[in-house]
Amino acid sequence: MNPAAIFLQQSTQLLTLSVILGGFAFTMTLTLFLSRDQRSLPTATALLFGAATILFVYAGTIFALLPGTAPAALANLGGNAVYATLLAVLILLTGIAVAGWLHSKVVGVVATLLGGGAAVALVSALMTLF
């Protein structure tokens, strides 16, 4: 395959990932904001999911526009969108870990361990690539 076809496939895959995870983060944001619980932990969790939503929308917009972009601007925009997606995934994992504490202490501990483990695995996998 030529590099343009590979880039188009990667862009499409990252666009799909951004849209799906952005929709999940947006749903969680609305669910937590519309809940009757006005304590600080649900509000902070909703803000985390809201930040992830904004980053996923930004990255998804860039990935949708990339195939029609000039090659010179491609490297900067694509790199920024990939970093935004990675940051959004880490924020999403943090939000999931914090949301576990809304249910109970046991669920909070399990969610924190799983979210932290996933974040460490993601970062360590990325460190081997760069």
The domain locations on the chain are 3-129
Q: What is the pLDDT along the chain (130 residues), one digit of tens a residue?
A: 777 777 778 888 888 999 999 999 999 999 888 887 778 888 889 999 999 999 999 998 888 887 766 555 666 777 788 888 999 999 999 999 999 998 889 999 999 999 999 999 988 988 887 6
Give the pTM: 0.84
Both tokens of residue 88? 């959004």
Is the Cβ–Cβ distance between 48 and 94 less than 8 Å? yes
pLDDT at 128: 83
pLDDT at 8: 77
